[in-house]
Amino acid sequence: MSSVPPPATDRSATDRPATARRVAERPAVDAAVFASEVVTAFQPVVLRGQVRHWQAVAAGRGGDRAMAEYLAAFGAPGGKPLDVMIAPPEVEGRFFYADETLTRFNFHRQQVPIGALVAELLRYAETDASRPHTLYANAATAPEHLPGWEGANPLDLGIDAPARLWIGNATRIATHYDTSINIACVVAGRRRFTLFPPDQLANLYVGPLDHTMAGPPSSMVDPDAPDLTRYPRFADALAHAQVAELEPGDALFIPPTWWHHVRAFDRLNVLVNYWWEHRSGAAFLALVHAIGAVRDLPVAEKQAWHSWYEHLVFAPEAAQAADHLPPSARGILGPDSTDRTGRIRQFLINMLQRP
């Protein structure tokens, strides 16, 4: 059976997993409420109308051509071309692996100026192409690729991170997670996010960790057409799924390590997101190292190291594990700080350089 399940014949914007509940919603918030209530809850939440005031959202209300013209205006000299993923019509917008070997992808990449990208998307939209190629510029940082965007479309939530643009036609992005806090803002087109909490990891049938489409690993299951014979535990994941249906002007807060499948429905879709606080990225690297260093040890020895991890990392009182030592002697066991980060980094470098 192919790793790319055939798409369902009728996927409307209202279809969603029957057992999924909707993501919690609230009206737009200010920076103080965002920091104190939204970020700290570690739960996804839709912020209705959060960026309704953006110039870009207003341009999108004028239709595909108005949106395309607005985007193209940022193609000033000095703006870098965008990294565009291009997939053939037969994949129907789902970027994924090409075959059972999982060594190739069903798309290729090309560097494209913003003006050329939106011109092609507009051509597809206005000719009503029934089976167009799928085009998707992903994570284009505004300062580098669309200079001036952030000044015209400020988020005002106290986030110290660059705006990243995602521009394309109808796309389906495989279920993945981010190592950073994420807020995604819809500018044009409708988007559906299907989210799964971190504890559903085992039910999502994660693909390769070191050969991925765009950084983080992805689930092998297509939530739009799940093969429950091949992936039976995914039924349990669906029972815990949450769905967010977003319109232009809406935003979605996604905590780190929450899995999400993203589907864009319209002929020209634009989303802006912000990632910040990247500490979970280091946690993933530690996990990969633990796979090589710990996972295949004899059971008794692995259990011994489990005690170390529990005591120094996972236990609620782990941060106090070195309180019996004088502060000057705690070293890498000390409290979180820039100095401790440097100490840990240097310790690892020294250890890894030993013969």
pLDDT above 90 covers a percentage of the chain that reads: 81
61-93 pLDDT, tens digit per residue, is: 999 999 999 999 998 666 799 999 999 999 999
pLDDT surpasses 80 at 299: yes
Is the pLDDT at 295 greater than 80, yes or no?
yes
**Strands (DSSP E) found in 44-163:** 45-48, 82-87, 94-95, 108-112, 134-141
Q: Is residue 172 within 8 Å of residue 219, measured between CB atoms? A: no
According to the model, what pLDDT value does residue 109 have?
97
Buried b (16+ CB within 10 A) or exposed e, 284-295: eeeeeeeeeeee
Contacts of residue 17, Cβ cutoff 8 Å, sequence gap at least 6: 194, 223, 238, 241, 243
- pLDDT tens-digit readout, 214-267: 889 999 999 999 999 999 999 999 999 999 999 999 999 999 999 999 999 999
pLDDT of residue 19: 56
pLDDT at residue 5, rounded to an integer: 37
Q: Residue 104 above 70 pLDDT?
A: yes
pLDDT of residue 20: 73
Mean pLDDT of all residues belonging to the chain: 91
Q: Could you read off the pLDDT of 308-322 as tens digits, one per residue? A: 999 999 999 999 999
Residues 257, 179 contacting (CB under 8 angstroms): yes
CB 76 within 8 A of CB 113: no
Q: What's the CA gap between 168 and 2, in Å, rounded?
A: 26
Check pLDDT > 70 for residue 17. Answer: no
For the domain made up of 21-278, give the CATH fold.
Jelly Rolls (2.60.120)
Where exactly are the structural domains of the chain?
21-278, 297-352
Distance of CA 244 to the CA centre of its chain: 14
Q: How confident is the model over 83-106, as a mean pLDDT? A: 96
152 contacts 234 by C-beta, under 8 angstroms:
no
Q: Per-residue pLDDT tens for 258-287?
A: 999 999 999 999 999 999 976 667 888 889
Nearest one of 204, 159, 209, 215 to 184, comparing CA atoms: 159
**Strand order through the sheet with 191-196:** 21-22, 242-246, 191-196, 259-264, 171-176, 94-95
> Dihedral (C-alpha) 292, 296, 299, 301: value to the nearest 10 degrees?
-40
pLDDT digits (tens, 9 = 90+) for 181-216: 999 999 999 999 999 999 999 999 999 999 999 889
Compute the average pLDDT of residues 21-45. 96
Neighbours of 167 (CB within 10 A): 29
Give residue 129's pLDDT band: very low, low, confident or very high (50, 70, 90): low
**What confidence tens digit (pLDDT) does each residue in 320-338 have?**
999 999 999 999 999 999 9
Give the per-residue pLDDT at 72. 95
Dist CA 284 CA 290 (whole Å): 10
Q: Between these two residues, 278 and 49, which has the higher pLDDT value?
A: 49
Residue/partner pairs of 201-208 with CB below 8 Å, 24 or more apart:
201/259, 202/233, 203/233, 203/234, 203/236, 203/237, 204/175, 204/234, 204/237, 204/259, 205/231, 205/233, 205/234, 207/97, 207/102, 208/102
CA-based radius of gyration for the chain: 22
Question: What pLDDT is attached to residue 15?
Answer: 52
Measure CA 181 to chain center: 9
Residue 117's alpha-carbon distances to 148, 214, 353, in angstroms, are: 18, 20, 46
